[in-house]
Each structure stands twice: as structure tokens, then as C-alpha cells.
């Protein structure tokens, strides 16, 4: 039995991760702000992860085999976690995002051929320019830059073995998917309404919500360190995604060509789909998007009834 701490873990694939660890017989402690009750068979600690004193008091003398941080969004949060969990754990897994690669959120985009799936070494976090005091120009840039800098804090001079899981766009779970992005497509296509797309959209990466939970659990149990891309096989551009959804709904998709941010959520005018080769070489076997997407569409339709 292992002693696992999950920061966050109260909804979507974080909640599924907690269930996986609990059902495997592990001792699971979940830290959150108390907005949701504890899952049976787990321990909940109520604390604001941004308040160092409160977090230390909630933890007391507890130690863990591994910490999985589901809600680390800024370098300040990462630095605080590194201080608090130093000496309390030997392994730390941060849930990051594929948005760290998004060339639209870099002052100077990382080098690499356009449209070629990105590998972990494409992003050199040691080469980040000094942080600016000014706020990011938009939420997407703030999110991506916050994740990049949080990774940089945890991966540089680590107090424990550290993994940053760069997660693809997560789909599935029906009503549990609070983002509503897959539902956006399913509803529009089923109703015959047009989907707004870029003139020449690039592929992007996806992963099933249960698969990313399993991957985080696998990462927590591993011995490797550093960044690792987590994506199902088979990157899709927005029209390929719509064709698969249409096949599951029995309705032909309609498209409307637009420019810039007016496009639908998974229509991209730049490429940064991820290469999952490192995870495969380490021993994790991903599924194919085309195999699980019909079931995810069915979950969306069932949750809307």
C-alpha cells in the first residue's frame, strides 16, 4: 500500500484518479478548499493551497510516497509547494498542459518545424526570459505561461523527483466534463448548425478522461522524471474531429470558415500536437482517439437527456 496525496482531485479526471488509487488499496489524502465532501475511503484536508501557513497546519506531520498536484497554475504556487512538501515526499507529479507548447503564447515561439508533433525537448524551460510584472494580454497566454513557469520552478533544483505531465485536451465523461467543449460540437452537429473553423486548421491532441487519470496514476508509481506528453494516438484537426462526431450522431457536419479567435474551441491556426513517444518508450500504452470518441459522444448525448 502506498500513501498518496492529491492536491485538488475533486472533479473530472482528478476525481477519477482518486478513485483509482483508493480502489487499488492505497491510502489517499485529498487537499482542497472544502467545497466538495470527501470520497468514501479517503482522507480530506481542508486548506487553501495558496496559504502556506494554512497548508502546513493542515498537513501536520504527514508524509507521502507521492504527491499529485492537479491545480498548480503559477510559479508562486509551485514554489510554495516545493517548500511545504520538501522532506514530506520523494516524488511529485504536476498536472501540466499541452498549452505550454502553444506558439501563440510565446513572445518568441520555440523552434521546430510547423505542424510536426512536439516532443518534450522542444521546450527548454531554462531558456525562459525573466518574468514580467505586467499581466498577460489574454487568459490563454496567462494560463500557458503560468504552467510553463510552474514547471520550471519544480523541475529546476528539485527537492524531490519531479514529473510534469503535459496533458492533451481531455474529453469524455458526459456531464462530468465541465469544459463543455465536446458538447459544443455534438450539439451543433446534431442540430445541423455550422461549426466555425479556420481556413486551414492544424491537428491537435486529445486524451480520454479515464486514460489521463490512469496515466497520472502510472506516472505516480514510476521512477522517471521530467516532462512527459500524455495524448492518445491519432491527432485530429477540427474537421476530422467533426467527421467522427457526425458518424456517431448520424448527421453530416456543416462548416463556416472564420478567422482568429472566433473559431470553435479545437480549431487551431497553428500546430502543436504532441508526440507521445517518450511515454510509450517508458511503457505506457495509449489508446486511439478514434476508438473511444464515439463512446464519449454517446455520453454527451445521454447526459443532455
Predicted local distance difference test score (pLDDT) of residue 135: 60
- Fold entry, domain 3-303: Rossmann fold (3.40.50)
Element (H, E) at 66: strand 66-69
Q: What pLDDT is recorded for position 10?
A: 77
**Among all chains, which residue has been given the C-alpha cell 496567462?**
142
Cell of 75: 510559479
DSSP 118: B
Q: pLDDT tens digit string along 48-77?
A: 999 999 999 999 999 999 999 999 999 999
Prediction pTM value = 0.94
pLDDT recorded at residue 134:
47
- How is the chain split into domains, by residue range? 3-303
The residues, any chain, with a CB within 8 Å of residue 77's CB and separated by 6 or more, are 49, 50, 71, 150
Provide the total of helices (H) and of strands (E) in the chain, helices listed first. 9, 11
Q: How many whole angstroms separate alpha carbon 53 and alpha carbon 57?
A: 6
From the list 173, 167, 32, 40, the residue with the least C-alpha distance to 100 is 167
- List of the chain residues with pLDDT < 70: 107-112, 129-136, 305
Strand 226-230 versus strand 161-167 pairing type: parallel
User: Would you state the pLDDT for residue 53?
Assistant: 96
The conformational region for residue 250 under phi > 0 = left, psi -120 to 50 = alpha, else beta, is left
Which strand (E) or helix (H) includes residue 256?
strand 255-257
DSSP string, 177-241: -TT-HHHHHHHHHHHTPPEEE-SSPBPB-EEEHHHHHHHHHHHHH----EEEEE--B--B-HHHH
Bridge partners for 166 per DSSP? 96, 229
Amino acid at each position: 500500500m502506498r500513501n498518496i496525496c492529491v492536491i485538488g482531485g475533486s472533479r473530472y479526471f482528478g476525481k477519477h484518479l482518486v478513485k483509482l488509487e483508493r480502489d487499488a488499496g492505497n491510502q489517499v489524502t485529498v487537499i482542497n478548499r472544502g467545497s466538495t465532501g470527501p470520497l468514501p475511503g479517503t482522507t480530506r484536508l481542508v486548506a487553501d493551497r495558496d496559504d502556506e501557513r494554512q497548508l502546513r497546519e493542515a498537513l501536520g506531520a504527514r508524509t507521502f510516497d507521492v504527491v499529485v498536484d492537479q491545480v498548480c497554475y503559477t510559479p508562486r504556487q509551485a514554489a510554495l509547494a516545493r517548500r511545504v512538501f520538501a522532506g514530506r515526499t520523494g516524488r511529485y507529479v504536476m498536472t501540466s498542459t499541452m498549452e505550454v507548447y502553444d506558439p501563440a503564447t510565446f513572445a518568441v515561439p520555440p523552434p521546430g518545424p510547423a505542424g510536426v508533433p512536439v516532443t518534450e525537448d522542444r521546450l527548454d524551460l531554462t531558456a525562459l526570459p525573466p518574468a514580467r510584472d505586467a499581466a498577460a494580454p489574454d487568459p490563454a497566454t496567462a494560463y500557458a505561461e503560468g504552467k510553463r513557469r510552474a514547471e520550471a520552478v519544480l523541475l529546476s533544483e528539485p527537492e524531490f523527483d519531479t514529473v510534469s505531465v503535459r496533458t492533451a485536451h481531455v474529453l469524455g465523461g458526459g456531464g462530468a466534463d465541465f469544459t463543455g467543449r465536446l458538447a459544443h460540437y455534438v450539439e451543433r452537429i446534431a442540430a445541423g448548425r455550422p461549426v466555425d473553423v479556420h481556413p486551414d486548421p492544424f491537428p491537435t491532441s486529445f486524451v480520454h478522461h479515464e486514460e489521463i487519470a490512469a496515466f497520472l496514476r502510472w506516472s505516480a508509481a514510476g521512477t522517471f522524471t521530467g516532462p512527459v506528453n500524455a495524448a492518445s494516438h491519432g491527432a485530429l484537426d477540427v474537421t476530422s474531429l467533426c467527421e467522427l462526431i457526425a458518424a456517431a450522431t448520424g448527421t453530416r457536419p456543416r462548416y463556416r470558415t472564420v478567422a482568429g479567435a472566433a473559431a470553435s474551441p479545437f480549431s487551431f491556426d497553428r500546430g502543436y500536437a504532441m508526440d507521445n513517444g517518450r511515454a510509450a518508450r517508458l511503457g505506457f500504452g495509449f489508446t486511439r482517439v478514434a476508438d473511444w470518441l464515439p463512446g464519449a459522444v454517446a455520453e454527451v448525448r445521454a447526459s443532455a437527456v
